[in-house]
Amino acid sequence: MRGLRTSSYIAKYKDLLQDVYPVLWNSVKYKGKIWALPQDTEARPLYFRKDVLRKLGWSEDEINALPEKIRSGEVTMLDLIKVAKEAVSKGLVQWGFYHRPNFGAQPFVIFYYQYGGILQDPDTGKLVLVKSAMLKSLELLYKMAQVDKVLPPEMIGTSWRQIHSDFVNGRVLFWLGGTWHWAEWQRVAYHETLGKLPEDYEWKNMGFALVPAPEPGLKPLTLSSPYLYYVTSQSKYPELAFLLILLATSTPLDAKHAVDSAHLPVRMTTVDHPYYTESRFHTEVAYMLKYTTFEPLHPKFSAYKDAWIAAITKVEKGELTPDKALDEMVSVLKSEIGDELIIKE
Q: For the segment 1-25, what is each residue's pLDDT rounded down to a tens digit?
A: 454 467 788 889 999 999 999 999 9
What local confidence, expressed as pLDDT, does residue 261 receive? Answer: 86
What local confidence, expressed as pLDDT, does residue 104 receive? Answer: 77
Taken in order 50, 209, 128, 105, the sign of the CA dihedral is: positive
Q: For the segment 246-288, what is each residue's pLDDT rounded down to a tens digit?
A: 999 999 999 999 999 889 999 999 999 999 999 999 999 999 9
What local confidence, expressed as pLDDT, does residue 106 receive? Answer: 77
What local confidence, expressed as pLDDT, does residue 231 receive? Answer: 85
What local confidence, expressed as pLDDT, does residue 1 receive? Answer: 46
What local confidence, expressed as pLDDT, does residue 5 receive? Answer: 64
Q: List, run by run, the mean pLDDT of 10-residue segments along the chain (345 residues).
A: 66 91 89 86 96 98 98 98 98 98 88 98 95 98 98 97 98 97 97 98 98 98 92 88 92 94 93 96 95 93 97 98 98 97 97
- Which domains can be identified in the chain, with CATH numbers? 3-40+230-291 (3.40.190.10)
What local confidence, expressed as pLDDT, does residue 240 receive? Answer: 93
pTM: 0.94
